[in-house]
Structure 1
Amino acid sequence: MASHTAGIRRLTAEHRRWVSPRTDLVTALLGIWFGIGLMVDAWAHANLAELETFFTPWHAVFYSGFAVVSGWIIWQVWRNVRAGRQGLAAVPAGYLAGLVAIPAFAAFGLADLMWHTVLGIETAIDIFFSPSHLGLIVTMLLIITTPLRSAWSAPHVGAAPRLGRLLPALLGLAFATTLVSLFLSYGGALQLRPQAIVQALSLGQGPAIAPPGGGPRPVALGADRVAVSMVVTNVVMLSPVLFLVRRWSLPFGAVTVMYAVIALMPGAQTGFRDVPVLSSFVVAGVVSDLLIRWLRPSGERRGAYWAFAGLSAFATWSLYLGVASAVGGGLPAVPELWTGAPIVAGLIGLALGALFLPNAVAVHPGAGRT
């Protein structure tokens, strides 16, 4: 009976172990290869007129990134199998979802090949709604956030980790956020040029811009488009930060690293033609890091958490409009828009803070082993 029980335990997650911080860092770095591959592919779709084949250099970078990070995750499991661990016990804590996503991603990759072979290559907004692309992006999210899940309840991370120890988790979540921003880029604010922002907020209707994902027909940029883009991007960029702040006391530089990574995707889509606007978000990351040091928001300090959420969003979009105005020819002519937009962003940030932390928590319960 005892031997039977021991055999069952070997097949369960009861004795699963965490990998070393170095292993998580390698997982995150290989995930960067994977993420950069997608950025290169996004650049090609947005800036090259005709992509008529699935077999492109950009796809080669993307799928080779998938191969190396997948091989690394599988190797971690195989090492445990060779050490005598069986079943789920061989899967390191935090690595199970990524492991399951590997064959699913490969299946969606094959489906994407068949889709393009039969129906052709998407060149406009339809690229973000392709079922095979949606499957790829969801499974990719699970793979590259493996270091985050590994660190989430690891006993050696602690409640106030140093930047170096938390870096793999930050990179994983930041690149995951870039995937979300890519598939919502038709409502993204970081793809807009400073001059177009100023003119749209001055006249209510700005110059024509190319639609996200390329395409021959431009779309009109109006004040409503800028306002909606700010709301969408505000939610996409602030949510992962609030997610982390509830779990850890973030070290200085954590938000700056995340915002710098997140800005890479819209930069790739626009060929980095709008560096000043992208840079404003990196500066906003520094400001958010300073706010964290000043307010010390946490799950136990709900008021400070809410204040950080609102002030971080307000500062981010004040910088965005300030830089756009400085580079784009002056303040927009409609004062209600450029004065009220950061306030709206701050209120949305406050609402997000209340959603993420409606009640203060005494002790973080942990996320379990996934």
Structure 2
Amino acid sequence: MDATAAHAFATPPVSVHRPTTAVEDVITLAAGVWLLTGTYVDGWAHNNLRDLETFFTPWHAILYSGFAACALWIVALTWRRHAPDARWMEAIPAGYGAATAGVLLFLVSGAADFAWHSVFGIEQGIKALFSPSHLGLATGGFLILSAPFSAAWHSPERSWPRLMPAVVSAMLSGMVAAFILQEFAVFARHGLIQTYSGSAGAQPAVTIPTSSSIIVSLASFFVSTAVLFVPVLLLSLRWRLHAAVPAAMTLLPSVALQIMVALRDAWLVPAALVGAVLVGVVWAVARPKPDRPARLLTAIGLSPVVFWAPYFAGVALHDSALSFSSELWGGTLAWTGLEMLALAALTFKVRTTAGTTSKLPAGEGRGG
């Protein structure tokens, strides 16, 4: 890449889109929480209720009313910024372009969801996660909830209190991804790393896992690691995070997933809490900063290792045995750490090559 191209990446053109205020971003998030609550309540229904026969349900009412609140608010933000003789596209708030597209996608997918249910009925279990209309709804919701994060990304000099909507936005967006990928969610169940044997009616015994179950388990840890820690990584590339931020961003989605499956393995919640605390300790000790790659690589590489370790310990204590040998559980922890190390190293390489690396002004955009 030549110097001219690098400079173009480093200094983007001045946007005609007006930024949002902190209050406006908070309202966006409030409507987004409404939408996300409906999403998880609907997930609870699909996971725990049988014989769902109609599209018109209380959980769909929460979901679609939350979407209506998001859509109306984004329309209001755009309306307030529209100037006479100006294009409507220019009135969309800075960072809210993808959210506007998400509103349209959600609207189309909602109509498709009604048609899909009318023809094929109401899905249950894993089938609901493969429905094309549900995938469209999840993508639309992801784009809507990521708006405050996207808006803040282009304004890294914001003070720390002003960045809180961006932090919450990144976490909520990750929770949308966790929802649609819930079959890979580690903290949603404990049988992922356990194999049982025994006749009907007898107490099942923990036994050696098969090769296929090991592969499925490793894949689930890979997906769950990306869902939980990529939002943390993206925030860390721009701002120095307080240790409580990555801890909360790993704990809350894990607890939400357990609630969605009716707390069938409620004892995993304390394990998630311990893991989240350890993640916070790693960040407090490493003190990663956007302009200190070594510290950030250390923190993001160790975080999944210390977060998943209490999961293995909790399962072993609960069942008094563990199907995974030390090579398997130790290797799984190492793989997840290497996964985040690779992703972080790749982002640093791309950022350096594009010439976008810049130091934050002293005291700006930093916490704790």
Counterpart check, 1:174 vs 2:165 = no
Gaps of 5+ in 1: 1-11, 207-220
CA contact (8 A) 1:108 1:135 kept: yes
| 1:189 maps onto 2:193 in alignment | no
More deviation in 146-155 or 263-272?
263-272
Query: Equivalent of 1:288, from 254, 279, 292?
Result: 279
Partner of 1:78: 79
Given residue 266 of structure 2, which amino acid in structure 1 is its aligned partner? V
Deviation at 1:256? 2.2
Task: Pick one of 234, 245, 252 that aligns with 2:243.
Answer: 252
Alignment of 1:44-55 (within 5 A): 44-55=45-56
**1:358 is paired with a residue of what secondary structure?**
helix
Q: For the Cα contact (< 8 Å) 1:177–1:237, is it kept in 2?
A: yes
2:310 to 313, 319, 328: 319
Is the 1:30–1:69 Cα contact (8 Å) retained in structure 2?
yes
* SS of alignment partner, residue 219 of structure 2: helix
Residues 13, 279 of structure 1: alpha-carbon distance in 2 compared, 3 angstrom cutoff = farther
Per-residue Cα deviation, 1:297-353 (whole angstroms, up to 9, x for no partner): 344322222222221121111122122223332555733233333223222232222
Give the gaps of 5 or more residues in structure 2.
Answer: 1-12, 197-204, 360-368
Amino acid at match of 1:320: Y
Evaluate the alpha carbon distance shift between residue 124 and residue 199 of structure 1 in structure 2; reply closer, same or farther with a 3 A threshold.
Answer: closer
Question: Alpha-carbon deviations, 1:86-128, whole Å to 9, x = none?
Answer: 5333221111221232132111101110111012112232222
Question: How much does 1:82 deviate?
Answer: 6.9
SS at match of 1:275: coil
Alignment of 1:87-102 (within 5 A): 87-102=88-103
| 1:279/1:71 CA distance change after superposition, 3 Å | farther
TM-score (norm 2): 0.81
Moved more, 129-138 or 340-349: 340-349
Give the share of equivalent positions with the same residue, in percent: 31
**Structure 1 residues 333 and 262, CA, compared in 2 at 3 Å: closer, same or farther?**
closer
1:56 positional shift:
0.7
The answer to whether the Cα contact below 8 Å between 2:18 and 2:81 also exists between their aligned partners in 1 is no
| Match in the other structure for 2:111 | 110
Matched residue of 2:53: which SS? Answer: coil
CA 1:310 to 1:14, structure 2 compared with 1: closer, same or farther past 3 Å?
closer
Deviations 1:224-282, CA, capped at 9 Å, x for gaps: 44333222212221222111111111123111221233224422331123233234334
Single out whichever of 183-192 and 137-146 deviates more from structure 2. Answer: 183-192
- The aligned residue for residue 358 of structure 1 is 349
Cα pair 2:54 2:122 within 8 Å, conserved: yes
Describe the shift of the 1:334–1:306 C-alpha distance in structure 2 as closer, same or farther (beyond 3 A): same
Residue type of the partner of 2:230?
S
* CA distance in 2 between partners of 1:283 and 1:339 (Å): 18
Say whether 1:232 aligns with 2:223. yes
Q: Tell me the equivalent position of 2:17.
A: 16
Answer yes or no: is the 8 Å Cα contact 1:77–1:91 preserved in 2.
yes
> Following superposition, which runs of at least 4 residues in structure 1 exceed 6 angstroms of deviation?
82-85
1:347 is matched with 338
The partner residue of 2:319 within 309, 314, 328 is 328
CA distance in 1: counterparts of 2:351 and 2:97, whole angstroms: 30
